[in-house]
Amino acid sequence: MADWNPALYLRFAQERTRPASDLLARVEHPGPTRVVDLGCGPGNSTELLVQRFPQAHVLGVDNSAAMLAQARERLPDLAFDQADIADWAPSQAPDLIYANAALQWVGGHAQLIPRLFAALAPAGVLAVQMPDNFNEPSHRLMREVAALPQFAPHIAAKVAAGRAILGIHDYYDLLAPLSRQVDVWHTIYQHPMTDARAIVQWLRSTGLKSFVDPLPEALQSAFLEEYERRVALAYPARADGLRLLAFPRLFIVAKRAP
């Protein structure tokens, strides 16, 4: 898959940063000294962490060179590491591991989530936000278009099947025996979008990448056109002409015992 496109990702920066801010608002820690932004992307979430914890050493981690370049430009005084979340381990136990819209790209959550939690310092906090839109029209339509005969041979079966994250009760059950306190919740954001093309552009920088990038260049535009046609039907114009993109997100905040 091609590297991430920070400019496309940040086209909807305000909407993408809102859940990051909502997650951070539920983090309670008297004064973390080591904070990790796991899957920091272009640094928009990292900037929130720096503002909230100005005395902490904040480290951004991402596997995308392009995203890290953007993050370093945004926050030149901060440290950033290129690494894959699947096998990342901190050199020192952090007081806060914060992962906003990142862990959904990593499999094996039954092992990953307890491993990250175990990496925390005493009284540390694991804070996670993930899109939970596998069954939303936006993502169901990706899979439907991918199954069309002209596209299916080019898209891996694993991608076409999608990668559903665990259920909210599963995350609670994973962390409750290990934690002093676990808070899990859902929020469904309703993002006003100008038209169906704007919805496609929103998703082109994230969920659509794994469907479109493997296609030959000649088929990419055909896939996007068919997907946009279906999105236009699934998200009709509202009273003001805008279209509401429902975007469910799952939140987890778990605290270690002191």
State pLDDT tens for residues 78-118. Answer: 999 999 999 999 999 999 999 999 999 898 999 999 999 99
**Rounded distance, CA 62 to CA 4, Å?**
11
Least confident of 107-111, 162-166, 203-207, 252-256: 162-166
Q: Which of the two residues, 10 and 220, has the higher pLDDT score? A: 220
Q: Are 171 and 184 in contact (CB under 8 A)?
A: yes
Superfamily the domain 6-255 falls into: Vaccinia Virus protein VP39 (3.40.50.150)
Q: Per-residue pLDDT for 12 more than 70?
A: no
Q: What is the pLDDT of residue 1?
A: 47
Per-residue confidence band for 210, with pLDDT thresholds at 50, 70 and 90: confident
3-state helix, strand, coil in the chain (%, to 5): 45, 20, 35
Dihedral class, residue 123 (left if φ above 0, else alpha if ψ from -120 to 50, else beta) = left
The domain limits of the chain are 6-255
pLDDT in tens, 161-189: 666 689 999 999 999 999 999 999 999 99
**Rounded distance, CA 194 to CA 237, Å?**
9
- Residue among 9, 23, 11 at smallest CA distance from 189: 23
Whole-prediction pTM:
0.90
What tokens does 183 get?
């808070």
3-state secondary structure of 35: strand
Q: Per-residue pLDDT for 160 more than 70?
A: no
Q: Per-residue pLDDT for 23 more than 60?
A: yes
Q: What is the pLDDT of residue 4?
A: 47
Segments of the chain assigned E as strands: 34-38, 57-62, 79-82, 96-100, 125-131, 181-193, 243-255
